[in-house]
Structure 1
Amino acid sequence: MSFSEHDNIGPDSNSAQKKPAARSRLYAILLPVAILVIGALVSTWMLQTKPKAKTRPKPRNATLVEVLPTHYGPQQTTIEAIGLVKPARQVELKPQVSGEIIYISDNFLPGGRFDKGDTLVRIDPTDYELAVRQRASEVAQAKAELALEQGNQLVAQKEFELLGQPVSPEEKDLMLRKPQIESSKANYEAALATLEQAKLDLKRTTITAPFNAVVDSRQANLGTRVTSGSSIATLVGTDNYWIEASVPVSQLDWISIPQQQGEPGSTVQLFDTSSWNKGADRFGEVVGVAAAVEEQGRMARLLVNIPDPLALSKENRSKPIVLLDTSLQVKIEGKTLPRVAAIDRRHLHDNDTIWLMTDDRLELRPVEVAFRDRDHVYISEGLKEGEKIIVSGLPAPVEGMSLRLKGDDADSEKVTQQ
């Protein structure tokens, strides 16, 4: 039996066993290939269907600035300075006769005002009245002596005619008493002059204001005995004051200074921000310039006339008064520049250069400055009408650096959003 079963195993049974093994090997080869093919297809699809990134514009690396356009036109120049108020007319009042003061005006005190011709002080006139009477009697006596001598001359004339003898001219003058008549006339004239002097001295016992004035100081009082030449008061004229303003010598050419009496000078505006009400001002006129400069600052001393400084007239009563020895801000109207560009002083840089925005680039351009005042410079050459002057600060200005304006930011944002 055992031999029978062993004998049944032949070639068919071996082939049956080899088929499953071959199939397994085929699967092992095809599966990786299939995976690779599928992966390649998926990768190709993903590359073809991937989203595309939009290109964004590169932001501009430019400095933001502010600009103002250049404008040419006529400009009124102004020169600013500080001025000291001084009297235009000041006199130390001194009597011309001696005596005791018997009357002073109630207003004769510091700050008191007088019109021209008002009585300030009277000196005791008694002695001078007596002198007038005495001189008058001397005049009467001299007049009588002259009349007597004239009568004697008539008698001598008749005697000379009766004599009828030729004489020399010298003898004739003696015979006609001409020396005596001339002496009497001289005595009479001297007596008249003495009388006039006595009357003048009497008149001088009354001291009056020589012009419209205010009392600056007083050195005498009622009962004071004064002598000729002793000071009794100091008066300052009230019709006008002077203001002495210090200005650089180089700026005198811009100011109209009268060379002859009657010529107009530059108009001057005056301020006192520390004492006057806000917006209050007074006006004056340049009348001259002192012959010498200041000893300390070597500045020119300009004289400005201000009328009615104490605001006494009706038209000036609402204006502030100007007091002596006060300092005022002075703004002088200079000559007009026919065609210049007025620019804030802050926008003029080193070596008289201006920052310009030209084709979105920085340009450092030198300019010609015609005039400078406290707040502005006036450019005559170097700029063109409408050119953009940079009025904002630049931390490190470099020629040709990129610039942009505020409006350019909005344009850049719109492009970026798209």
Structure 2
Amino acid sequence: MRKLILTILGGLLILASFFIAYIIIQNKNKAKPVPQKVIKTVFADTVKNATIPIVIPANGNLTAKRRVELYAEVQGIFRSGSTLFKPGQVYKKGHSLIRIDASEYYASVQSAKSNLYNSIVAIMADLRLDFPEIFPKWQTYINDFDLTKTTPKLPEMTSEKETYFITGRNVISNYYNVKNLEQRLSKYTIVAPFNGILTEALVTEGTLIRSGQKLGEFIDPSVYEMEVAISKSFANLLQTGEEVTLNNLDATEAFKGIVSRVNGSIDATTQTITAFIEVKDDKLKEGMYLEARLNAKQEENAIEIDRNLLLDTQQIYVVRDSILDVIPVKPVYFSDAKVVLKDVPDGSVILSQPVTGAYAGMLVKIFKDKSIKTSN
């Protein structure tokens, strides 16, 4: 009985082994599933070459086109006037900015004028006797001479005898001595050379002012300039009188300006050329930071795309029969975010957005087809 049971169990074990081996063989012969090909969806544009304006971004701070740094040429006490010498004070052309006490110097000027007057009066008798033909004009000069006013110009001398006679009496030397003193006396008062505003005041009324001391700064707030540095490659493209659009940092306000001057030399260190943009607006203030867009030139038969679509090998991706390919291109201008390209055939379908892991030969499907923007 025991042998029978063992025989049956052995037979079952053999049958089970054959069954398991059969299943393994069957599974081994089954065909493996073929992985499905992944086709990426891409965004593409159809190329249409056009004329692309090359716009150069630049920025800088505004400075007044007309500004005067005020310096003292004489010494004295700063006298108070009708308006305080303070930053923000507005002055009209010809209005007194600073008056320095010139009482002592004024007395010396009057003394010199008196000496000139006396030297002319002393020769009047000789003129009447020896030069009766010129006596009337010198008599008129004496009659019009006013010590409280600016010394008038001497009468014109018409002969050598008259010149020698007048010069020999020291009239001419006395006259120019007076004019020199009067010229220096005028420097005790500084007047506004144009309508403007005081932006810096370094002295106050009652201050002792010394010769050569800086007193402040005065500007014309109606016209400003912005200095910008442009790449030397555009040196021959910028033209005086060209219109420029300027924006503040928040891009909430726009101003119109013109290129007023272009420097004739290139900075040897930075290899840039300096241009000056003139702008007028009541909202502008000196020192304001603005951004400008300069129209350098028009590039014909070109397109403009994002910089991240241009490969390091100076190539871009195109779609041909649902397969990615690359074509060589010629970049002609780079901005912060864009690049202008030439040698891209019309009708080419190029990527409008970068594709992660893209390579030549990749299967793709175009999501949407639209005409590329070729101008701003």
Name the structure 2 match of 1:133.
110
> Which has a greater percent of strand?
2
Matched, 1:94 2:55: no
Query: 2:194, 2:122 → 1: CA distance?
Result: 44
Deviation (angstroms), 1:178: 5.8
Query: 2:131, 2:220 → 1: CA distance?
Result: 60
Name the structure 2 match of 1:335.
297
Describe the shift of the 1:107–1:342 C-alpha distance in structure 2 as closer, same or farther (beyond 3 A).
Answer: farther
Contact 1:149 1:180 (C-alpha < 8 Å) held by counterparts? no
Query: 1:369, 1:180 → 2: CA distance?
Result: 78
Name the structure 1 match of 2:90.
113
SS at match of 1:232: strand
Q: How do 1:181-330 and structure 2 match up within 5 A? A: 182=165, 184=167, 187-253=170-236, 255-258=237-240, 264=241, 266-274=242-250, 278-286=251-259, 287-289=261-263, 291=265, 293=267, 298=270, 300=272, 302-308=274-280, 316-317=281-282, 320-324=283-287, 326-330=288-292
Name the structure 2 match of 1:168.
none
Query: 1:348, 1:179 → 2: CA distance?
Result: 88
Query: 1:376, 1:220 → 2: CA distance?
Result: 52
Higher relative contact order (Cα pairs below 8 Å, separated by 6+ residues): 2
> Which has a greater percent of helix?
1
Query: 1:405, 1:364 → 2: CA distance?
Result: 16
- What is the count of residue pairs matched by the alignment? 307
Higher radius of gyration, 1 or 2: 1
Deviation (angstroms), 1:369: 1.6
Contact 1:244 1:301 (C-alpha < 8 Å) held by counterparts? no
Matched, 1:144 2:127: no
Task: Select which of 352, 364, 374 maps to 2:326.
Answer: 364
Contact 2:199 2:218 (C-alpha < 8 Å) held by counterparts? yes
Contact 1:128 1:201 (C-alpha < 8 Å) held by counterparts? no
Contact 2:61 2:226 (C-alpha < 8 Å) held by counterparts? yes
Contact 2:255 2:279 (C-alpha < 8 Å) held by counterparts? no
SS at match of 2:214: coil
Deviation (angstroms), 1:290: 7.3
Query: 1:152, 1:331 → 2: CA distance?
Result: 79
Deviation (angstroms), 1:389: 0.9
Name the structure 2 match of 1:355.
317
Q: CA RMSD in A?
A: 3.3
Contact 2:69 2:217 (C-alpha < 8 Å) held by counterparts? yes
Opposite residue 180 of structure 2, the aligned amino acid is Q
Contact 1:217 1:233 (C-alpha < 8 Å) held by counterparts? yes
Opposite residue 256 of structure 1, the aligned amino acid is L
Contact 1:107 1:113 (C-alpha < 8 Å) held by counterparts? no
Query: 1:351, 1:180 → 2: CA distance?
Result: 87
Report which stretch shifted further, 104-113 or 331-340.
104-113
Describe the shift of the 1:101–1:360 C-alpha distance in structure 2 as closer, same or farther (beyond 3 A).
Answer: same
SS at match of 1:395: coil
Deviation (angstroms), 1:376: 1.9
Opposite residue 384 of structure 1, the aligned amino acid is P
Instruction: Name stretches of at least 5 consecutive residues in structure 2 with no aligned partner.
Output: 1-34, 133-159, 370-376
Name the structure 1 match of 2:366.
405
Contact 2:102 2:188 (C-alpha < 8 Å) held by counterparts? yes
Query: 1:305, 1:64 → 2: CA distance?
Result: 47
Opposite residue 406 of structure 1, the aligned amino acid is F
Contact 1:242 1:303 (C-alpha < 8 Å) held by counterparts? no
Contact 1:270 1:331 (C-alpha < 8 Å) held by counterparts? yes
Contact 1:150 1:181 (C-alpha < 8 Å) held by counterparts? no
Contact 1:77 1:333 (C-alpha < 8 Å) held by counterparts? yes
Task: Select which of 85, 97, 100 maps to 1:123.
Answer: 100
Query: 2:256, 2:183 → 1: CA distance?
Result: 43
Deviation (angstroms), 1:76: 1.4
Contact 1:146 1:181 (C-alpha < 8 Å) held by counterparts? no
Contact 1:153 1:178 (C-alpha < 8 Å) held by counterparts? no
SS at match of 2:123: helix
Contact 2:49 2:302 (C-alpha < 8 Å) held by counterparts? yes
- TM (norm. structure 2) is 0.70
Deviation (angstroms), 1:232: 1.9
Name the structure 2 match of 1:396.
357
Query: 1:218, 1:241 → 2: CA distance?
Result: 21
Deviation (angstroms), 1:388: 0.8
Query: 1:340, 1:186 → 2: CA distance?
Result: 84
